[in-house]
Structure formats: structure tokens, C-alpha cells
Amino acid sequence: MPNWMAPRVAFIAVGLAMSPTAPVSAQDYSPDAVSMFHELKQQPNDLARYAYLIREIPKLPVSDQQLAMQMFASVENELGLYNEAVHDFPLKSYIAVDATLPTPAEWKPADAAEVITELAADRRIVLINEAHHDAHTRQLTLALLPRLRALGFNYFAVEALSNKDDQLMQRGYPVKDSGTEYLHEPTYGDIVRTAIKLGFTLVSYDADTGTMQDREAGQANNLYRKVFARDPHARLFVHAGYAHIDKAKGRLGNTAPMAMHLQQLTGIEPLSIDQTQFREQLPGKPDAYQKLIRDFPPNGPTVLVNRTTGRPWSDHPERYDLNVLLPPADTGGVESGYIQLLTTVRDTDRDHLMLANHLNKQRPDWLTLSNGRIPYAIRTTLCKTRFPCVVDAHYVNEPDEAITADRYAFMQGDAASKLYLRPGRYRLRAWDIRGRTLSQKIITVH
């Protein structure tokens, strides 16, 4: 492992990730980081962003490399390299020295979607967070959308959406310019599609200028202005990042989080759901997350419920109402995107046939979405001997600009993997780092 990768572990207490498309101020970041953000925005596609970061991260000062690794892991996530993303930007579960973890004698595991639905029955605002580089933290939002819609929730606010795509609701699906690069990840696209189909009114609300405090207050003001000022009886579901959902100060230092501002503006206490405090690291290391999943093995998104009172467990109830535990996604043999030689990530042709003993690149089991999606085998033959190469699965009647149903990036030849797709017809498109189509075919998933 190169020396520059050593200081990679991030503590969840750090709080927020920056939007990759947000304007950056020299007073907030070093000149090198500002230059990195600028150049990253100029890259023509996600694969080019991946290659740019691999090339530039070693050149950055050590103080900027953790931020850059977060950007790199987010790009891996957007390319379908889910385990690699978690490996390359581990968020360590941080526990206060005097904190006590729940025990099986007093607490029991329960299905997170069922418990949250019960808690939300008489609430007006529900907030859930994600780790931007880990699409696993989007699975629960997908499960909650139909349940909350059935309860009467009618607005769905999405941090990654921009306010520039005024045709989104009519079109029915997001495109690459519908929001930030986070939205390029297929599960995030699935969230937006599902919300539109269910009849939610979608709300963009991010405020990406000014200081951290300006952003938190700006997000809350946007939500109030776009939702409650127009519809006093609205019921709002918000999908946000990290500590934006906190109802008290702490994870952002002395900065008041968005949820705290929103409660003050509306007079409504939100139901806040945290998914980022206790998370898997790859490779696994002894920590609070490992102890919790050992004591309470989760089969899917899980919360802990008190055996006596029935209330859900939160390690910081003043900040959020419950913690969600996600089952480990490790399928074994997970590698960093940096372990391969940098020469494997370039615009290159292969001049020999694919080998019979190809490399099988594993992807996490949660991609089945509780058996709603079916694995479909793919091989690097789709790439026509040109690497790196991305294989996109588009709904059959949608254009290349639409967010894919699933995708996977092959960084080298002689490999196989799987896409996870709902039953239906799809157009597979393989493309290279310059965006050129390498192959296409129509498939049917049964």
C-alpha cells in the first residue's frame, strides 16, 4: 500500500461530505483541493473522473488526500464498484468512551422499515441519512417510499437533486444532469423513479454556497419555502447525507444541523433516522459495528427495540431517534481500486483473446433488494478488448443520458461480474473512457 494511503480512516464525527459539483471557496479548502474540484468537474464522464483521481491523488498534500479519497470512493460507488468504495473510504464507528452498547437481554432486532412505518404514522416530517459513497444506505429509503406514501406523505426531498431539471416529473426518470454526480449511482436513480411513480412531489433543496452553517440553514429554509410555506398540511420525507438529519449539535461541532433549523422553522419535530453511525469497514475490523451485528445478526436493514418499552435504540437520542444496522456486504476478496497497477486504468486495447479462466468480480448480495432484482451475468467480452470499460443496463426505451438500472466498470480484461435487474427488457451498452460505445444488445430478464 502506498504511504499516501495510510491516513485514510475517517471518523463519522467529521460529519458532512461536500457535493462534488458544489462551488468551492479558497477559504474552506487548500488551493490544491480547489484545483482538484475544478478539474474533476471538467471530466466528461464518471470513468474519466475515476481515472483523473487515480492519477492526481498521490500528488496532493497529505492534508487533502482524505477528501480526495472520499471523492474517489463516491466515483467507485457511481460505477457500481460498491465493495471497493467501502474499502477505499472506511468510516470508523465512533463511540464515546462512556457509552454503553445495547445487549440482547434488553433489546431485540426488528425490521427497520416496519418499525419506522409505525413510528411515522403520526409524524409530519421523516428524515433519513446516507453515506454518499455507500449505496447500501439507499436500500432502506427504497423500502420506505411506498410505506410512507400509503401513510399520506406527499413530498419527497432529495439532497442530490438540482433545481435545473424542470422536466423530471413529466419524464419519469432522472438523467445525468438532474442533480449531482451522486445521482449517477443506479440505486439513487431507482429512488427517484420510484418516488415519481408513487406520486410524490419531488423537492430539490440543497444549498451549496457559503459556510457550513450557511448550508445547513439554507437547506432548511429551502425545505420550508418549497413545502410548508406552500402547503401547511404537507407531510415530508427527506433523503439527506450524514449529519444533516441531526436535531441537535454534535457531529458538526458547534454548527446547528439542517434538521435543527427545520424544526425551528416549522414547529414540527422530525423523526430522524441514522444509518451512518455504525457501518461496515472492509476489511472488517473489531469495532462497535462488529459487536452489534454479532449480538444482533441483521438479515436486512435492522433496528433494535427495547424488550420492555418497545422504543427503538438510538446512541444519541437528542440527535436522532434510531440507529439502523445494515448487514455486512463483504463477499470476500475485496480490493482497493489502487491495488492494481495504475497502468490498468488507461485507454488501451487488448490484442489477444479473453482467457478461459477469467476473474470473477464479486458484488454485494444486498443488490437483490430483497429478491426484487435478479443477477444477470456479464463478461468483459462486451468491452471488445478495450479497457477500462463500463457496462450500463438501461431500460430498453430510455436514452444513454438516463440514469441506469445498474452498471459495472471493468478495469481490466478477462473478468466477469453480475448486474442486478428487475424482470423486464434492457439495453446493455458498453462504453470506454472517452464515452464511445463499444457494444450494445437487448436483453430480457425473467
**CATH code, domain with 251:** 3.40.50
pLDDT at residue number 330: 63
Q: Is residue 95 part of a domain?
A: no
pLDDT at 25: 42
- Check whether 109 has a pLDDT greater than 70: yes
- Boundary residue ending a domain (264, 290, 323): 323
Domain end marker among 65, 90, 115: 90
Same domain, 165 and 289: yes
pLDDT value of residue 6: 38
> What are the pLDDT digits (tens) for 241-268?
999 999 999 999 999 999 999 999 999 9
CB distance 61 to 32 below 8 Å: yes
* CB distance 394 to 427 below 8 Å: yes
| Same domain assignment for residues 277 and 421 | no
pLDDT, mean over the chain: 89
Establish if 97 belongs to a structural domain.
no
Same domain, 355 and 406: yes
Nearest alpha carbon to residue 126 among 239, 242, 257: 239
pLDDT of residue 283: 82
**189 found inside a domain:** yes
Q: Is residue 46 located within the same domain as residue 114? A: no
Report the distance separating Cα 246 and Cα 433, nearest Å.
39
The closest of 377, 375, 382, 378 to 430, measured between CA atoms, is: 382
64 inside domain: yes
Same domain, 210 and 317: yes
d(CA 33, CA 24): 9
pLDDT in tens, 347-397: 454 433 333 344 567 899 999 999 999 999 999 999 999 999 999 999 999
pLDDT of residue 200: 99
Cβ atoms of 385 and 414 closer than 8 Å: no
Number of domains in the chain: 3
pLDDT in tens, 145-170: 999 999 999 999 999 999 999 999 99
Instruction: Verify that 120 and 145 share a domain, yes or no.
Output: yes
Q: What percent of the chain is predicted at pLDDT more than 70?
A: 86
Say yes or no: 118 and 179 in one domain: yes
404-416 pLDDT per residue, tens: 999 999 999 999 9
Q: Assign residue 422 the CATH number of its domain.
A: 2.60.40
| Domain-embedded: residue 333 | no
At residue 65, does pLDDT exceed 80?
A: yes
Residues 8 and 54 both lie in one domain: yes
Residues 281 and 371 in one domain: no
Q: Is residue 200 part of a domain?
A: yes
CA-to-CA distance for 385 and 388, rounded, in angstroms? 9
Residues of the domain holding 351: 342-445
Element (H, E) at 407: strand 406-410
Residues 94/11, Cβ–Cβ less than 8 Å: yes
Least confident of 19-33, 68-82, 238-252: 19-33
Whether 240 maps to a domain, the answer reads yes
Does 224 fall in a domain?
yes
